[in-house]
Amino acid sequence: MRYKAHSPGSVTLFFEIVDSEEIRRMGSRGVGVTVEPGALTEVEEGEERYLLNGNEVEGEIQRIIAEKYGFRGTVRTNTPLPVSQGFGMSGAIALSTSLALAAMYKKTYFHAAKIAHEAELIVGGGLGDVASEFEGGFTFREVAGIQPYGKVDRIHYAGKINLVVFGEKIDTKSIIQNNNWKQKIKLLGKNAMKKFATEKTFENALSISRDFAMSLGFASRELEDFIVDCENSTMALFGNSAVVFGECSNYYDGVVYPVKLGHRALILP
């Protein structure tokens, strides 16, 4: 029998890294927006295979999750959005896989989220995407980690969303596990969260995010120019990409993905 689940993607706007000896308390505090489409995963007992958009892959994060459930079989995931471009696909793949297996093994949603969060941190694909994707919407991760420790609130946003990709993929792991980058992000993230605490609105989140991206100094020249020209955009962390809230008059040479605000991850019939 086959089991299916879906998770939205997640674009982080700014964040503060939070370390802990307890993996369920680790991750990040921050603000981001979940987006549809995300990742759709189907699991079926039998031959051990890991497929992404029809292609056989090593499937590191799916493999870790499968082992935690004691599952042996085929994991098929489809992601219309590109991976390694700051759209939270690693977290979405993890969460949709874990939820599908939770359905198979009659486990709860919280159990699935915990397993996915742990796998995301082990692989280094992200620090808080699973927590945001589990809740859906325009998220404010007020307390780092996953249930029962993490706390996620929401911000109202009802406009259009476009994702724009400008260049090559970026390995998130190479950034968040690099001590120099990690220390810089911690400092910038702490200041960003303090500013956001004074006014928890979409407008303030966007303004802080643009400052965060420019101060980080990670954006390519083309991406930086785009963000400067398009005042309703900011960098998607971490990718050669931007998220636009509404429309821009010039998308340069970027590839545009019109998306919708994401809803919380779900087990599907």
Segment 176-234, tens digit of pLDDT: 888 898 999 999 999 999 999 999 999 999 999 999 999 998 889 999 999 999 999 99
pLDDT tens digits, 150-166: 999 999 999 999 999 99
Beta carbons within 8 Å of 176's beta carbon, 6+ residues apart: 17, 124, 126, 127, 182, 185
pLDDT at 175 over 90: no
For residue 178, the model assigns a pLDDT of 87
Mean pLDDT of the chain: 96
What is the distance between the alpha carbons of residues 145 and 75, in angstroms, rounded to a whole number? 26
Which residue intervals of the chain are DSSP H helices?
A: 60-69, 89-105, 109-123, 129-135, 172-176, 179-198, 202-216, 221-229
Average pLDDT over residues 105-113: 98
pLDDT tens digits, 75-100: 999 999 999 999 999 999 999 999 99
For residue 172, the model assigns a pLDDT of 84
What is the distance between the alpha carbons of residues 257 and 232, in angstroms, rounded to a whole number? 16
The residue that leads in pLDDT, 264 or 173, is 264
**Closest to 146 in 3D by CA, of 174, 119, 182, 171:** 119
CATH topology assigned to domain 1-269: Ribosomal Protein S5; domain 2 (3.30.230)
Is cis: bond before 37, omega within 30 of 0?
A: yes
pLDDT at 173 over 90: no
For residue 231, the model assigns a pLDDT of 97
For residue 102, the model assigns a pLDDT of 98
pTM score of the predicted model: 0.96
- Copy the structure tokens of residue 248: 């821009």
Average pLDDT over residues 27-46: 97
For residue 125, the model assigns a pLDDT of 84
pLDDT at 63 over 90: yes
**Closest to 33 in 3D by CA, of 141, 144, 150:** 141
- Copy the structure tokens of residue 210: 């643009």
Residue type at position 66:
A
Q: Are residues 93 and 41 in contact, defined by beta-carbon separation less than 8 angstroms? A: yes
Q: Give me the percent of the chain exceeding a pLDDT of 90.
A: 91
